[in-house]
Amino acid sequence: MSTHVPASGTLSRAISTTLETVHSTKATNVQKENFKKLSSYLERITFILQESTKLDIHDSGTLKNTINVLTKHVSEANIFAHECSNKNKIYLLLNCKKIVKSLENHTKEIGNALNLLHPLISVNGLDQDIIKLSKIMLNANYQESATEEEIIEKIKVGIRERNVDRSYANSLLVSIADVIGISTEQAVLRKEYEEFKHEMENVELTEDVAEALQIEQTVALLGKADIISTAEEREKKYFSKRNSLGRQPLEPLQSFYCPITQELMDDPVETPSGHSFERYAIEKWLAVENNLCPITKTPLKASALRTNKTLRQSIEEWRDRNTMIFIGSIKSRILSNEEEEVIVSLEKLQDLCLERDLHQEWVMMEDYLPVLVSLLSTKNFQIRSCILTILRILATDNDDRKESIAKTDNAIKLIVCSLARKIEESKLALQLLMELSENDVARNIIGSSQGCILLLVTLSGSDDAQAAEDAKQLLENLSFLHQNIVQMANANHFGPLLRLLSSGSESVQRVMAETLSEVEMTDHAKLTVCENGAVESLVAMLSHINIEMKKAAILALEKLSGVPQNGLKMMKQGVVEILFGILFRESLSMPNLVEKVVATIVNLALSLTSHKGDHEDTPFLESEEDIFKLFSLISLYGPNVQQNVLRTFLAVCQSPSGLNIRKTLRKISSVQVLVQLCEHGNQTVRSNAVKLFCILTKDGDDETFVEHVGSKCIETLLRIVNISDNIEEGIAVMEIISSLPRTPQMTQWIVDAGTLQAIISILSSRIQKPELMIESASGALCRFTISTNQELQKKVAETGIIPTLVQLLDYGSPLTKQNVAISLAQFSESSNNLSGPVVRKSHFFSCCVSTPDTSCTVHSGICTIESSFCLLEANAVTPLAKVLDEPDFGAVEASLDALLTLVNNELLQKGSKVLESGDAIVKMVKLLSSPSVKLQEKALIALERIFRQPEYKQKYKTTAHMALVEITQRGSHSMKSLAAKILAHLNVLHEQSSFF
């Protein structure tokens, strides 16, 4: 066997050709996956051929011929790959199915050549590689991509639907550019399109009529895309053509009508005899077995029909000419004063714009925008509606027109005005603005238009579902600008703001938090914002290392925490602990924030005193250390911090956990600080200090106040009453006076300071003073009327205040009546001892003339208001008895106590008469049925004594009977026994009754 390579170099040539083809297949820009597949086969063939050069193969003519056949087929594949690289890419895309078929054919031919080769190379197992590869290539299948199929289908649809607009052609051209791998820049697209048109001329020289028609139709379809020509070019072409036309429209030629339908043709086709018909009409005629020409009656096949391009072009030119003339002339009618004519003209213009995208371009070239926009200010609803519709048609899918409309003077302003009109017009304006908002420039102008965002927010809550949805979507479109989001927030639309607050960049989150702190918000808006995630986002920002982020979050939390439900939610999110951490550990690095942190803490504290929300398990100032640290800020910072710390403690001291906080405050010597603050120059600080001082005095911890409150403090408090315009401050001072320890020293200081005169002055001018001030002053007076200090009682009585107190029983509030009754009771407790003896003067005629008895009916001595404080002398019995009918238990009990001082001990008989004459006993009987057990018991005790007297038990037996029986059945053990005793007095029960 010969051991040399073929002398002719057949193998070398085959290897070189195959390598060249591999390079060509890899260089193609279309059908890349398919050519890649072919390239892989060729690379394996190259390997086989290269391995063959190393073998001892017999040099025969058959081998040379077989390799030459293989080389020939590979070379043909190379030529095909070159064609696919050099031909127009759009043309190649249209012929993707042909390319796939050609690839399959070339692959099979090469596979057949390999099949002939393997018997001639049967060494080293190489023949098995050849057989395997040959089989694969003979069975190879190629497919066009789904994207290519989709585009081909779109082209077919566009050709079939002859009235597709420019936007369709633009979109199609962009999709084609993506598939064939070229830029979407105008110059590149235009060059590729022009090459494609040139390709059409080459195809027309062939006999492939179907391919020629397909390319022609595709060229026409893509020619509608305005992205392949500049606006200047289109405008120049338009005016050149329009100026060459006359002013009157032309009637259609008879040849433009289809002989079958008698209608103007859109797609005329020509028969071999030279007659033209509408394509669908003649095809339908022939489909129903009319195989004769409708005019010549000669045989006619559908395959013989050819597009009459000349006629079709003539019809299109005629239509375009008339449309141009119409669009140019109708403007004057639109500007007329005849509303009906304006409406008809606008409707025609609207129909033209809907008909073709080209007509919209002509409308724009004729400078209709200023005319249309100016008509938006008309009072006619139909005209405005037509304008809005036309503008939306012009704007749809055209970025340049969107911008042009937005930049036309007053356009956006007038469109926005339509938002405020009836819902039909609002919806049209919304749809137009939605379309315009897809353009950046237009979106900026829309957002800055006065009142636009407010109107959109209002419409987003419309009962009309479509209007509401469109308004929400437009707001979403406008939310790309922070200034628009701020406007939305000012209109109570917080969705975009909250979204950016939670997911925006750090700088955006900070801006959104600052916006929340600055916009005016109702409580409902604050509540809604927190329900939609603001709290969680702001709490996360609080823990941020960036001080500006913390600051923005604190400012927003301060604003939102003013609503109690929000404050409680924040506390449950752990805000208090974080704020205390900032306050006590980070405040040195951010002193400007201390005021804002404390202001937020105030709001949180106030949330605990609200009646809304769940206060349980809401942590706040739980440790003595936190209370001490927070209160210590009063000594470290100025008035703004001081007043807010005081307000915080004012709130928490009145919360469910207030008792423990008040105890802790007294323990840490807060009273000493508060005493000093009562002299503070800032009225707000002083006022809050006095109020907190007042709250701390109400728990009866006398030792603390004895230690820190002296005569100077009391003088300061009294001075506040005299000079302050703050009613609450004056009330708090009166309550402090009432609650301070009742030691002789303290009382003396209070008297020496002139407090009594201040109280008398307030009560004496009750008409000019607020009721709350009267209540607190009457409460403070009680400490001056205690019966253990009759000297002090005399000082009070000598002021003449007792008649005023009696008047207050008629006109005061329930609390005032209660306080007054307490003072009158305390006065009355001293009356019996202070009633003066009756001195009878001797007289010559005393035996003949009796001296009138001037002694007190109850106290049997001489009584006056100033000397013995007698209730009878003060005419207080009847007013006190009237109070017994009132619903306030406190006032009733105090009045009952005052009246019962008249039946104490030996005064029973005389006092009972006075009570009976003042209708007090009958009212006491009614108290037996009171819901207040305490009042029932007091009335029982009093009546048990009174009913020992026969005249009263007989008189009130019937009235009291049922109430007493009920008490014996439902009352407490002691009350049952007492009620039974009374019933025994009334002879209802025996004295030996088991109830005793």
pLDDT tens digits, 17-44: 999 999 999 888 788 889 999 999 999 9
SS3 379: coil
- Is residue 687 within 8 A of residue 728, CB to CB? The reply is yes
Mean pLDDT check: name the lowest of 563-567, 602-606, 652-656, 708-712: 652-656
Whether the predicted pLDDT of 516 surpasses 90: yes
Across the chain, what does the average pLDDT equal? 87
How is residue 320 written in tokens?
Answer: 């375009």
Residue 524 CB-density burial (10 A; 0-12 exposed, 13-18 middle, 19+ buried)? exposed
Which residue would you say has higher pLDDT here, 293 or 197? 293
Please count the CA atoms within 13 angstroms of the CA of 159 that sit on its side-chain side: 14
What mean pLDDT do residues 721-748 have? 90
Report how far residue 601's alpha carbon sits from residue 579's, in angstroms, rounded to the nearest whole number.
8
C-alpha closest to that of 494 among 522, 469, 466: 522
Report how far residue 384's alpha carbon sits from residue 375's, in angstroms, rounded to the nearest whole number.
7
Helices (H) and strands (E) in the chain, counts: 54, 3
What is the tens place of the pLDDT at every residue in 421-444?
Answer: 999 999 999 999 999 999 999 999
What mean pLDDT do residues 348-363 have? 90
The proportion of the chain whose per-residue pLDDT surpasses 90, expressed as a percent, equals: 52
Report how far residue 556's alpha carbon sits from residue 553's, in angstroms, rounded to the nearest whole number.
5
DSSP letters for 905-951: GGGHHHHHHHHHHTTHHHHHHHGGG-S-HHHHHHHHHHHHHHTTSHH
Long-range contacts of 176-180 (CB under 8 A, 24+ apart): 176/90, 176/93, 176/151, 176/222, 179/93, 179/145, 179/147, 179/148, 179/151, 180/29, 180/30, 180/89, 180/90, 180/92, 180/93
Q: Please report where in the chains the tokens 């048990």 appear, as a residue.
A: 944
pLDDT band at 84 (very low <50, low <70, confident <90, very high): confident
Over 565-613, what HEC string results?
A: HHHHHHHHCCHHHHHHHHHHHHCCCCHHHHHHHHHHHHHHHHHHCCCCC
What mean pLDDT do residues 191-215 have? 73
Whether the predicted pLDDT of 509 surpasses 60: yes
Report how far residue 85's alpha carbon sits from residue 26's, in angstroms, rounded to the nearest whole number.
10
Report how far residue 292's alpha carbon sits from residue 536's, in angstroms, rounded to the nearest whole number.
82
Looking at residue 276, the DSSP 8-state letter turns out to be E
Q: CB 577: neighbour CB atoms within 10 A?
A: 13
Whether the predicted pLDDT of 291 surpasses 90: no
Report how far residue 579's alpha carbon sits from residue 599's, in angstroms, rounded to the nearest whole number.
11
Report how far residue 431's alpha carbon sits from residue 655's, in angstroms, rounded to the nearest whole number.
54
Please give the pLDDT value at position 840.
57
- Is residue 2 within 8 A of residue 59, CB to CB? The reply is yes
Report how far residue 726's alpha carbon sits from residue 736's, in angstroms, rounded to the nearest whole number.
16
- Is residue 484 within 8 A of residue 519, CB to CB? The reply is no
- Radius of gyration, CA atoms only, the chain: 53
Distance of CA 854 to the CA centre of its chain: 81
Mean pLDDT check: name the lowest of 58-62, 172-176, 827-831: 58-62
Does the pTM exceed 0.75?
no
Looking at residue 658, the DSSP 8-state letter turns out to be H
DSSP letters for 99-124: HHHHHHHHHHHHHHHHHHHGGG--ST
How is residue 755 written in tokens?
Answer: 């407090």
| Length of the chain measured in residues | 996
Please give the pLDDT value at position 996.
45
Report how far residue 987's alpha carbon sits from residue 983's, in angstroms, rounded to the nearest whole number.
6
Whether the predicted pLDDT of 889 surpasses 90: yes
Please give the pLDDT value at position 87.
85
DSSP letters for 766-828: TTTS-HHHHHHHHHHHGGG--TT-HHHHHHHHHTT-HHHHHHHHHHS-HHHHHHHHHHHHHHH
Please give the pLDDT value at position 615.
57
Please give the pLDDT value at position 685.
95
Q: Please report where in the chains the tokens 């060229």 appear, as a residue.
A: 219
Run of H or E residues at 498: helix 495-503
69: left (phi over 0), alpha (psi -120 to 50) or beta: alpha
pLDDT band at 191 (very low <50, low <70, confident <90, very high): confident
Please give the pLDDT value at position 61.
79
Report how far residue 776's alpha carbon sits from residue 793's, in angstroms, rounded to the nearest whole number.
19
- Is residue 907 within 8 A of residue 858, CB to CB? The reply is yes
Whether the predicted pLDDT of 802 surpasses 90: yes
CA distances from 8 to 14, 15, 422, 762 (A): 11, 13, 92, 135
Please give the pLDDT value at position 845.
46
Report how far residue 5's alpha carbon sits from residue 60's, in angstroms, rounded to the nearest whole number.
11
Q: In terms of DSSP bridges, do strands 276-278 and 306-307 run parallel, antiparallel, or are they unpaired?
A: unpaired
Report how far residue 454's alpha carbon sits from residue 474's, in angstroms, rounded to the nearest whole number.
12
Please give the pLDDT value at position 6.
47
Please give the pLDDT value at position 769.
85
Question: Which distant-in-sequence residues (6+ apart) come within 8 Å of 204 by Cβ?
Answer: 212
What mean pLDDT do residues 300-329 have? 87
SS3 425: helix
pLDDT band at 206 (very low <50, low <70, confident <90, very high): low
- Is residue 226 within 8 A of residue 170, CB to CB? The reply is yes
What is the tens place of the pLDDT at every residue in 571-592?
Answer: 999 999 999 988 888 766 677 7
Report how far residue 990's alpha carbon sits from residue 971's, in angstroms, rounded to the nearest whole number.
20
CA distances from 927 to 710, 734, 886 (A): 44, 32, 11
SS3 715: helix
Whether the predicted pLDDT of 793 surpasses 70: yes
Angle at 106 between CA 103 and CA 112, to 5 degrees: 140
Report how far residue 472's alpha carbon sits from residue 902's, in angstroms, rounded to the nearest whole number.
77
What is the tens place of the pLDDT at every residue in 941-985?
Answer: 999 899 889 888 888 888 888 888 888 888 777 788 888 888 887
Q: Which of 61-70, 241-250, 641-650 has the highest mean pLDDT?
A: 641-650
